[in-house]
Structure formats: C-alpha cells, structure tokens
A and B are shown apart, each in its own frame.
Chain A
Amino acid sequence: MTMEFVFFQLLNGLSFAGLLFLVASGFTLIFGLMRVVNLAHGGFYLVGGYIGLTIVLATGNIWLAALGGALAVGVLGVLMETSLLRRVRGQELPEVLLTIGVAFMLGDLTLAFWGGDPRAMPLPDYLSGSVDLGFIGYPRFRVLVTLLAVAVGIALWLLMSKTRVGAIVRAGVDDREMIAALGINIRLVFTGLFFFGALLAGLSGVVGAAFLGLVPGESDIEILLFALVVVILGGLGSLPGAAIGSVIVGLIDAFAKALVPELAFFTLFAPMAIVLVLRPEGLLGRRA
C-alpha cells in the first residue's frame, strides 16, 4: 500500500462521508424531535435526484436543480406528514410502517416516471475535472461535496444551538407536552422540521445523482441502508453522532471497496454488530 493509495482512499472515504452526512442528518433530525423513523427517506433521496436530473437536462443549471430537487422533496415530505403521519401521531410502529408503504410507492412510481435505466447527472465544466491538492490530484466535485457537508453540518449546529427555533426543537425533544403547554404550536414545528429533513434528503439526492448515479430500485434502498448504519453507529437523533457515523462508514466503505470489493457490504456489518452489542444506543446516542 503506497502513501498515495492511502491518501486517495482517505479522500474517497471523506467525500462519501460528506454525502452520507447530508442523507443521515435529515433522517436523524426528523427522528430526534418526532421519534419518526422515516423509511421513505431513501425514496425521498431518489425522487430528489430524479427531479434534479430532469431540471439539469431541461435548463443545464445545476444550482437550479439542487434548489428544485430539495424544495420538491420538502413539499413531498410536508404532504406525507400532514396527510398520513399526523393521523397516527405518537404511535411509533404505525408511523414507521406508514413510511414503509410510502417507500414502496415512491420506489415504484420513480420507476414508472423515469424508467429502469441507470442515470447519471451531468456536471458543468467548472464542477468536474480534478483539483490539485499538492501531492495528488482529486476530483473537484468530490472535494466540493465534502465542503458542502461540512457547511451544512455547521449551519445545522448553529441553527440548533444558537437560534430560537433550535431551542424550541431541543426543548421539544426533551418534553413535548411542556413545550406545547408553553404556547408553542408544536404541530407547526413538527411539519416545519419534516419539511427541512425531507429537503435535506432531496438535496442529497441531487448530490448523490452526480456522485453515485441513480439506479432505480437500488439507489433508494442502498442509501437508506447506509443512513441506517450511520445512525445506528452514531446514535439515533444525534447530529454529532451522524457526523461521526458518516466518517466511520465512509472510510470503511472506501477502503473495503478498494481492498475487498466482494465484501463491500459485509464490512459495514462488523462495526454495527460491535456497537450494538457493546453500546446499543450508539456512540453518541442517549439510552433509549
């Protein structure tokens, strides 16, 4: 193993971790306040990716695609929250089972609309190509994804710890009845947060469409698996947990794919098993 190989895989791992964080942060945010495990999150990701792709093909503008994909999925999330999840509020299992039903529908409907061929998002020139990092060259887009994830992470952290909205959300995590009794419209907070979490899923779908490509019937499930492992490792509902989990999973995945490609998924299994046996609530999770 040369130094160059190690650095290259390190960067692969960190950039994939960036994408994973974008996906997992929305998932964990929604769970953190609402206790809803949204298994349609992978479907949201796929829909965001396809809408972004459609916009890029129509306008050629990737920023418009990111905006459009994110907003459309945000609206989809609000629709799901208000029309379905609100009816079973507070019942953990029915909530998550509803999201499974929605995941089925989204997976099938994307197949109906966008067809069964794998697609990839074309990137404009200024985002493709490679950037010279001094010792090695590395794809510019992947560097940008890492930076985007760091920026989103910092923004989320500031939002949660420094603003009034963040204070309400954090208080809602601890005691939902109390926050409602203080005169805060917790329903609105729920819907808003669901919008935001779905928005992140849509955005990550647009990023993922360029990063991994879109494979119907596979991308949604695969990204959901990665998001699950990230939050199981890091601790469900914890943003720093999602960040740490993303880095661990990203690095393991990069090195495993390069060294033992046929075991690509199995390498995720071992760390998950260890964490579950020794610390079932996750590295940074609270005891449930």
Chain B
Amino acid sequence: MSLTTKVKLGLLATGIAAGVALPYLTSPFIIGIVTLALVFGLFAMSIDVLAGFGGLVTVGQAGIFAVAAYGVGYTATHLDGGHVLQVAVGLAAGIAISVIFAIMAMRTSGVYFLMVTLAQGMIVWGLAYRLAPITGAENGLRGILRPPAVSAYWTYYYLVLAIVALAGGLLWIVTRSPVGLALRGLRDGEDRLRMLGYNTAFHKAYVFVLSGLFATIAGILYVYLNQFISPAASEFATSGHGLLMAILGGTGTLVGPLIGAFVIVFAENMLSTYVERWTTLLGAVFVITILFARGGLVGMLSQAWPRVLARFGHPAASGDAGAGSPPGAALDGTAHATSNPHGITTEDDQRSSR
C-alpha cells in the first residue's frame, strides 16, 4: 500500500468518523447546514458522473431533482399517500423524466448537449411556476413531513449521511466499471468509440439515466429536509450551483463535488448575511475557477501532493491518478481548434471540429 493510498484511506476513515460523531459535537444549526451540504454533494456528484467522467456537461439536472421532489410533495399533499408511496412516486417521477431527457439528449454532445439539458431544466422550471394544480406555483407545496423515525434533525442527518455515503460508494464503483470506461471513451473520443462499433447514443442515455437516478435521490432527500418545495429548486441557478460545486471541487473525482458542495453551502449560509451580492460572488468564483483552477480544489491538492511526498523522501506518487485522468480533464476536452496529436485527420475529426 503506497503512502498516498494510506493517506486516502485515513482521510476516508476520519471523514466517516467525523460524520458519525458530528451531532455530539456541534449545534443543530450546523447539522442542518451539513445535511444540506450532503444533499447538494450527492446532487453535484450526479452532475460529475456526466460532466466530469463523460464530458457531458449538464445544466438541467435541477429539472430532474425538482421533478422527484415534486413527486414526493404532490403525493404527500394531494394524495395523502404514506411515506412509502411518496418515495415510490418521487423515484418513479425522477426516473421517468430522466429517461425522457436522456432520449432527447443522447444524440447530441459537447455544447449541444449542454444547451439541450439547459432547455430541459428550464422547461421544468416554467412548468413548476405555471402548473399550479400540481406544483402550487410560486407558493410551492408545504407540509411534506418526514417519516416519524427520522423526524428529528439529527436522525434525519444520519439517514442522509448513510444514503450519501452509500450512493457515493456506488458511483465510485460505477466509474471504475466498464460503464465508467465507456464514459471516458465518450469524453475523449466519441467518434473513435463509434467507429469501434459502440452504440454511443445508447451509452449516453444509459449513463444519463444513472446520473438522473442519483439526482432523483438527492431531490427526495432535499424535499424531506426542507419539508417544502417551490419552483426555486428547479431554477437554472440550482443546476448552475451544482455544476459550480463539481467544478470548484474538481470534476471527475466524485469527492471533489462533495467538497465543493460543503464549501459553497457553508459559504452561502455564513457569508450571505454579510455579502449582499452573493450571486455575483458565485459568478465570479465560477469565472475564476474556469480561468485559473480548472482542476478545482482536488486538482490543486493532487498537484501539491507529490511535493509533500518528496519532502518526506518518497519518490513522487506516480500511477496513482485514481480514475486515470486529472481532475478537470473533461473541461479541457472537446477543444475544437487543437490539432490532432497523431497528425492524422479523419473526415470525422474534421466534422467534429466544427
């Protein structure tokens, strides 16, 4: 076991221990923020699966997130359904909308994919405002109570912690499975993958729905956390925040988006009392991260880490790139003016470069 692996396992163990111990150490207020950060962390991870690993940058994920939340909310407030039915409807709604969105988006890539997902998310937002009989329009849906077993803030926190940890583990396995490999193939050379006989559209749809499933879970956890849902959840800004969390933390790393979510959720709750133009600040963070730190926080750390190792007399930790590409790699992809590294230009390359 290399030192780096030991450090990673140590960090993971510390993280879990801290997560379990937290309710004994701090105030309900902080626990509330941590729970929200975990929910958004899962949401940002679901974006990372598509954006970071597959180079498919989605800005409509809040649409899926909100549809699942509305599914729960509608069942609770209009159908008087029990919690099992609420969650079942939420899951079904989220998965159904993911499948529809996936079929629409599966034949596009790059900026087209981004635009299509953006329009999808915005249509959910528009419907959330106007379909008052179901969504309650601007007033939203109130009084969506948690199941009695997790009605206390700290029991709900443990539930969220467990689900997010489980989901994170599942996603980690998925990204290292053949599906994950195909995803990276989509990112690095979709045309080549297609020439090798892969049905790239099918792969995209598959991963889209998978990512949508995790956004759905995040949406369900979100609505029970707030016990309330309004059109704001489906806003462009929600998708944008999720994407920013992923990029700020480091795309293609899974743990990065979680870190990004903690940074942004905590900053929002701590700073927005003092900083009047919070959204402007977020926009600036967005711009600065893209311009100067595309690997995000995890990228910066992993760049600094070999130097730390060297100081302790270890050879640089090579071969430990995890998923095999540096954080932020997805964002460098689909460059349309870069030359082909092999000097061979196929007709397909030329077309994809336009």
Cross-chain contact B104 with A276 (CB below 8 angstroms) = yes
Cross-chain contact B330 with A98 (CB below 8 angstroms) = no
Partner of A265, one of B55, B105, B126, B352: B126
User: Which of B129-137, B158-166, B296-304 touches A?
Assistant: B129-137
Within 271-285 of B, Cβ neighbours of A (below 8 Å) are at 276-280, 282-285
Q: How far is the CA of A286 from the CA of B279 in the complex (A)?
A: 37
A73 within 8 A of B: no
Cross-chain contact B123 with A101 (CB below 8 angstroms) = no
List chain B residues, Cβ under 8 A from A187. Answer: none
Q: How far is the CA of A101 from the CA of B237 in the complex (A)?
A: 10
Shortest CB-to-CB span from A219 to chain B, Å, is: 13
Partner of B290, one of A39, A88, A228, A231: A88
Cross-chain contact B284 with A288 (CB below 8 angstroms) = no
List chain A residues, Cβ under 8 A from B280. Answer: 104-105, 108-109, 112
Cross-chain contact A90 with B335 (CB below 8 angstroms) = yes
List chain B residues, Cβ under 8 A from A269. Answer: 120, 123
Closest to B278 in A: A108
Closest to A173 in B: B354
List chain A residues, Cβ under 8 A from B107. Answer: 276-277, 280
List chain A residues, Cβ under 8 A from B133. Answer: 262
Shortest CB-to-CB span from B155 to chain A, Å, is: 36
Shortest CB-to-CB span from A61 to chain B, Å, is: 31
Cross-chain contact A100 with B123 (CB below 8 angstroms) = no
Cross-chain contact A276 with B105 (CB below 8 angstroms) = yes
Shortest CB-to-CB span from B47 to chain A, Å, is: 12
A159 within 8 A of B: no
Partner of B104, one of A89, A112, A277: A277
List chain A residues, Cβ under 8 A from B73. Answer: none
B177 within 8 A of A: no
List chain B residues, Cβ under 8 A from A264. Answer: 126, 130
Cross-chain contact A87 with B291 (CB below 8 angstroms) = yes
Instruction: Report the contact-size class of chain B (Cβ under 8 Å from the partner).
Output: 35 or more
- Given the known interface contacts A35-B111, A93-B334, A107-B279, the answer about A84 and B287 at a Cβ–Cβ threshold of 8 Å is yes
Cross-chain contact A225 with B336 (CB below 8 angstroms) = no
Partner of A286, one of B278, B291, B354: B354
B59 within 8 A of A: yes
Main secondary structure of the interface of B (DSSP, over half): helix
Bits for B316-353, please: 1 = Cβ < 8 Å to A, else 0: 00000000000000111111111000000000000110
B118 within 8 A of A: yes
Cross-chain contact A98 with B277 (CB below 8 angstroms) = no
Shortest CB-to-CB span from B230 to chain A, Å, is: 14
Q: How far is the CA of A46 from the CA of B96 in the complex (A)?
A: 35
Q: How far is the CA of A140 from the CA of B4 in the complex (A)?
A: 71
- Given the known interface contacts A94-B290, A280-B107, the answer about A109 and B351 at a Cβ–Cβ threshold of 8 Å is no
B305 within 8 A of A: no
Q: How far is the CA of A275 from the CA of B118 in the complex (A)?
A: 16
B157 within 8 A of A: no
Cross-chain contact A98 with B291 (CB below 8 angstroms) = yes
- Given the known interface contacts A97-B57, A262-B130, A288-B351, the answer about A236 and B286 at a Cβ–Cβ threshold of 8 Å is no
Main secondary structure of the interface of A (DSSP, over half): helix
- Given the known interface contacts A84-B287, A88-B290, A98-B291, the answer about A93 and B331 at a Cβ–Cβ threshold of 8 Å is yes
Q: How far is the CA of A91 from the CA of B290 in the complex (A)?
A: 11
A53 within 8 A of B: no
Within 229-288 of A, Cβ neighbours of B (below 8 Å) are at 229, 231-232, 236, 261-266, 268-269, 272-273, 276-277, 280, 286-288
Closest to B236 in A: A221
Q: How far is the CA of A112 from the CA of B283 in the complex (A)?
A: 15
A62 within 8 A of B: no
Shortest CB-to-CB span from B274 to chain A, Å, is: 16
Q: How far is the CA of A105 from the CA of B284 in the complex (A)?
A: 7
Closest to A105 in B: B283
Cross-chain contact B283 with A103 (CB below 8 angstroms) = yes
Closest to B103 in A: A277
Q: How far is the CA of A127 from the CA of B110 in the complex (A)?
A: 43
A170 within 8 A of B: no
Partner of B240, one of A37, A100, A273: A100
A148 within 8 A of B: no
Partner of A280, one of B108, B118, B131, B334: B108
Within 58-117 of B, Cβ neighbours of A (below 8 Å) are at 59, 100, 103-105, 107-112, 114-116
Closest to A174 in B: B354
List chain B residues, Cβ under 8 A from A109. Answer: 277, 280
Cross-chain contact A93 with B130 (CB below 8 angstroms) = no
Q: How far is the CA of A101 from the CA of B284 in the complex (A)?
A: 6
Partner of A108, one of B108, B110, B123, B277: B277
Cross-chain contact A261 with B130 (CB below 8 angstroms) = yes
Cross-chain contact A265 with B286 (CB below 8 angstroms) = no
Bits for B181-215, please: 1 = Cβ < 8 Å to A, else 0: 00000000000000000000000000000000000
Closest to B350 in A: A175
Closest 5 CB pairs of A and B: A265-B126, A104-B283, A101-B286, A90-B337, A105-B283
User: Can you list 27 A-B pairs, Cβ within 8 angstroms, ordered by A?
Assistant: A37-B115, A39-B118, A84-B287, A87-B291, A91-B331, A91-B335, A93-B55, A93-B111, A93-B114, A98-B286, A100-B59, A101-B290, A102-B287, A104-B279, A105-B280, A105-B284, A109-B280, A177-B337, A228-B118, A232-B115, A265-B127, A268-B123, A276-B107, A277-B104, A277-B107, A288-B109, A288-B354
| Additional pairs, 8, CB under 8 Å, beyond known A112-B276, A112-B277, A276-B116 | A92-B110, A92-B336, A97-B331, A105-B280, A105-B283, A108-B279, A264-B130, A287-B351
